[in-house]
Amino acid sequence: MKALFSQLGYFALYTIVFLLSLLPLPVLYGLSRVLVVLSVNLAGYRRTVVISNLTRSFPEKTKREILIIARDFYRYLGRLCAETIWLFTASQQSVMKRFSLEGCEVPESLKRMGKSVVVMLPHIGNWEYLRACSCPGFGSVCGFDQDQVHMVYQQVNSPLFDKLMYTLRNRYKTGWHLLESRRAGSHMARHRDVQGIYTMIADQCPGPAGKSYAVSFMGQPTLM
């Protein structure tokens, strides 16, 4: 029975996202701004945490400046959500108009030397656009064939949303390998003699107890 409810929940969620994804991207941007206003101003979504962190990180800024940064952050977050929804049904041509790879000279040279490559993505922009590289007809990724590309992802806490994001990231059947972050290290170790390119988010995550390092990051104590 639990599995049935889970399937029904996923079907309902996917249907809603699918229908929204059919809207033009500018319309989704507009809807995202409305939802941001409702979630922040009415529901107060993480507002206290965001303001507190920004105030500690930028003590030299005025309260008004902090509020402007927070507002811009929420708008940015809303645009990310809108783009992610749009990507569920966006055409290959539409996606590739908004995405391009630059600076591939270094990984291409490493490929020719018989080495593997790890690409670290920053916390900016929409990482899901990277899947545009797996569109049929895109060709190689920085010199690597499609079946040599490994996309490391973080599992979402909600099983429903995790399945939804997996569906999005596996939309194009072109040989890419999706690796859950907890399996990435062991997979890379087992295949260290096999050439490949691995993409992952450059994220901070404390190590096991006794093996993490305490640093000051943007005015706040942080474990790494």
Burial of 176 (0-12, 13-18, 19+ CB in 10 A): buried
For residues 181 and 153, is the Cβ–Cβ distance under 8 A?
A: yes
Q: Which residue has the higher pLDDT, 45 or 13?
A: 13
- The 10s digit of each residue's pLDDT in 60-96 is 999 999 999 998 988 999 999 999 999 999 887 788 7
Pair of tokens at residue 128? 């899901």
What element of type H or E holds 195?
Answer: none
Residue 136 has pLDDT above 60, yes or no: no
What per-residue confidence (pLDDT) applies to 216?
80
Helix, strand and coil percent figures for the chain, each rounded to 5: 55, 15, 35
- The 10s digit of each residue's pLDDT in 110-133 is 999 999 999 888 878 888 887 766
Query: How confident is the prediction for the chain on average, in pLDDT?
Result: 84
Strand partners, 152: 179
Q: Which residue has the higher pLDDT, 18 or 101?
A: 18
- 200 conformational bin, left if phi > 0, alpha if psi -120 to 50, beta if neither: beta
For residues 131 and 101, is the Cβ–Cβ distance under 8 A?
A: no
Pair of tokens at residue 126? 């929409």
What percent of the chain shows pLDDT beyond 70? Answer: 88
What per-residue confidence (pLDDT) applies to 25?
95
Residue 137 has pLDDT above 60, yes or no: no
Instruction: Please compute the mean of the pLDDT values over residues 141-167 and round it to a whole number.
Output: 85
